[in-house]
Structure 1
Amino acid sequence: MKDEFAKLCLAIQFLTRIRLPFEPGYTPARMAMTPAYYPLVGAMIGGMCAGVFWLAALGLPGPVSVVLALGAGLLLTGAFHEDGLADTFDGIGGGLTREQALTIMKDSRIGTYGTAALAGILLLKAAVLSFLPGSLIVMAFVAGHALSRLSAVMVIVTSRYVRDEGTGKPVAQGLSGGGLAIACLTGALILGLWPLVQPFPAVFYGLGGVIAGHALMRLFFERKLGGYTGDTLGAVQQVSEAGFYLGLLLWL
C-alpha cells in the first residue's frame, strides 16, 4: 500500500502544480506506473473545479462561474494538457513530415494552429458547460476530468511512444495488468456512482463523447507520427473532456 500511495503522489506531482508536504519517493519504476492513478487524479482536479463552480454560482451568473471553474483547472494543472494540445496542432498542422512535426512540437513557442486549437477548445468547453444545469455541471467536471485521463491512459496502453526523450518518456513503458485495472476500475466507479445523483443515460451520452474525442484525436496524429508523444496525450485528454461535455449536451 505504501508503494501504491507513492505512485498516487507522483501522479499528483506530474499532472498538477499541487505541492505535497513530503517527498513521495521517486523511482523510475514507480513513475512508469503512475498512469494507473491518472483517472483518480483527474477526479480530484474535477472535484476542485466543481467546488469553484459551486461557490461562484452562489453569487454569480452560471457562465461566469463556468469560466472561473475552468480557470481554476488551468491553475491546478499549469495548463499542462492545454500546452500539449497546442503543440500537437502546431506540429501536425505545420509539419509536412513526421520529423518536421516532432521538431515543431518540441518548440516552446506557440503557433497559429496551436493558438486556434487552444482558443477553440476553451471556448467550446465554456460554451457547452454554460448550457448545462448547475447540478449537472458539478458532476460533469468530476467525471469529465477522470474519464478523459482514462482516455489518455488507453493511448499509452495501445500505442507506442515515438521519442527518445520527452515529457511522456517516464510513463511510456506501459502499464502492468494491475495498473490498467486500477485505472479502469476508477473509471467504472465514476460511471457506477453517476446514477446516484444524475440520470444514467446522461453519462452514457458523455462516455460516447469521450470515445469519439479519443478516436478523432488518434486519427489526427497517429497517421503522421506513427505513435504518441507527451503532447498528444494532453491533446487526447482535452478533446476527450470536451467530448464528454458535448455528449451531456446532446442528451439534454
Structure 2
Amino acid sequence: MKCLHSLVLMLQFFTRLPLPWQIPFAEGILARAVVWLPVVGLVIGSINALAYEAGHLLAGPMAGILAAMGANLFLTGGFHLDGLADTCDGIYSSRKRERMLEIMKDSRLGTNGACALLMVFLARYSGLAMLPEDFIPWAVLLMPVAARACNPLLMLSRYAREEGLGNLFIGKVSRKRVALSVLLGGLLVFGLTGKAWLLAAYALTAAFQPLFCRYITGILGGMTGDTLGAGDELSEMVFLGLCCIGAYHGW
C-alpha cells in the first residue's frame, strides 16, 4: 500500500492527471518515492504514444507528432520546460551567482529562456520527424521514461538555495533509491523493446547527468528545482538524438 501511495504522490506532483486520491504528505516521502519516476515516465509516454497514434490515424505522422507534443504539454503543464527556461535565463545572464538565482525565480520569460524553449520544440519535432514512421511511437513512449529514470542522478548534488521545491529532492535522496530508479528505467527500455542499442542509448543518457550536474554546480554552486527540470528536458533531447543516430544507421 505504501508503494502505491508513493506512486500516486509522484504522479500528482509531476503530472496534471486528475487522480481522485488524497495521499497524506510526510517529510521525506517524495525523496523516498523517486524510485517510481520511471513509472511516471511510462505513464506520460504511454499517453503521448496514444495521442501520436490518434493524430497519425486522422492526418498522418506529422499530425501525430504534434498531437504527442500537445499531450505531453497537457500532461506535465510545461513543468520541466519552465525549469529549462528559468535556468537558461539565469545562467546565461552573465551576472553573479546570487543574481542568477534571483533571475531564475522571476516568473517573467527572458530572451535566453524563450530561445531555449524554441530550440527544444524544434529539436523534438524535427528529431521525431527524422525517425522511421514505425519507430516514432517507441521514441515518444521511451523519451519520458529515460529522462525521468535518470533525473534522480542530479538530485545527489547539494541544493543551491536555502528554500524551494527542489529542496524536497536535492540532497535528500539515497544512492540506493537513485540506483533503483536508473535500473528500473533500463529494465523498462530493454524489456519493452528488446533492443540492446536502445539500452546503450539509455546508458549514455544516464552518463549525461553527471556532466550536466558538474556544469550547473560549477556556475551556481549546486542544483535547484529549475535545473532539475532543465536536466529532464535536455535528457529527453539526448535520448531522442541517440535514437535518430541509431535509426539512421539501421540499428
**So what's the TM-score if we normalise by structure 2?**
0.91
Whether 1:227 and 2:222 are equivalent positions in the alignment is yes
Indicate conservation of the 8 Å contact 1:213/1:236, yes or no: no
CA RMSD of aligned residues (A): 1.8
Q: Give the 4+ runs in structure 1 shifted more than 4 A.
A: none
Indicate conservation of the 8 Å contact 1:205/1:250, yes or no: no
Shift of 1:29: 2.5
* Equivalent in 171, 174, 180 of residue 172 of structure 2: 174
Rounded Cα–Cα distance in structure 2 between residues aligned with 1:56 and 1:32: 37
Report the CA distance shift for 1:137/1:26 in structure 2 as closer, same or farther (over 3 A).
Answer: same
* Equivalent in 206, 209, 222 of residue 214 of structure 1: 209
Aligned length: 247
Q: 2:147 corresponds to which letter in structure 1?
A: S
- Aligned twin of 2:109: 110
Whether 1:53 and 2:55 are equivalent positions in the alignment is no
Within 5 A, what are the aligned runs for 1:135-214? 135-157=134-156, 159-196=157-194, 199-205=195-201, 207-208=203-204, 210-211=205-206, 213-214=208-209
Indicate conservation of the 8 Å contact 2:186/2:202, yes or no: no
Shift of 1:225: 0.6
Rounded Cα–Cα distance in structure 2 between residues aligned with 1:30 and 1:202: 32
Rounded Cα–Cα distance in structure 1 between residues aligned with 2:223 and 2:126: 29
Indicate conservation of the 8 Å contact 2:83/2:229, yes or no: yes
Per-residue Cα deviation, 1:110-165 (whole angstroms, up to 9, x for no partner): 100000001101110110001112332212122211111122210102x1111111
Q: 2:101 corresponds to which letter in structure 1?
A: L
Report the CA distance shift for 1:177/1:201 in structure 2 as closer, same or farther (over 3 A).
Answer: closer
Whether 1:22 and 2:51 are equivalent positions in the alignment is no
Structure 2, unaligned stretches of length 5 or more? none
Indicate conservation of the 8 Å contact 1:50/1:138, yes or no: yes
**So what's the TM-score if we normalise by structure 1?**
0.91
Indicate conservation of the 8 Å contact 1:214/1:239, yes or no: no
Shift of 1:188: 2.2
| 1:59 partner SS | helix
Q: 1:8 corresponds to which letter in structure 2?
A: L
| 2:185 partner SS | helix
Q: 2:181 corresponds to which letter in structure 1?
A: A
Per-residue Cα deviation, 1:167-221 (whole angstroms, up to 9, x for no partner): 211223422355334312321212331444xx4324424543x246535533542
Within 5 A, what are the aligned runs for 1:56-75? 56-75=55-74
- Aligned twin of 1:121: 120
The range that moved more, 126-135 or 42-51, is 126-135
The range that moved more, 218-227 or 13-22, is 218-227
The range that moved more, 81-90 or 163-172, is 163-172
Identity of aligned residues (%): 33
Indicate conservation of the 8 Å contact 1:162/1:226, yes or no: yes
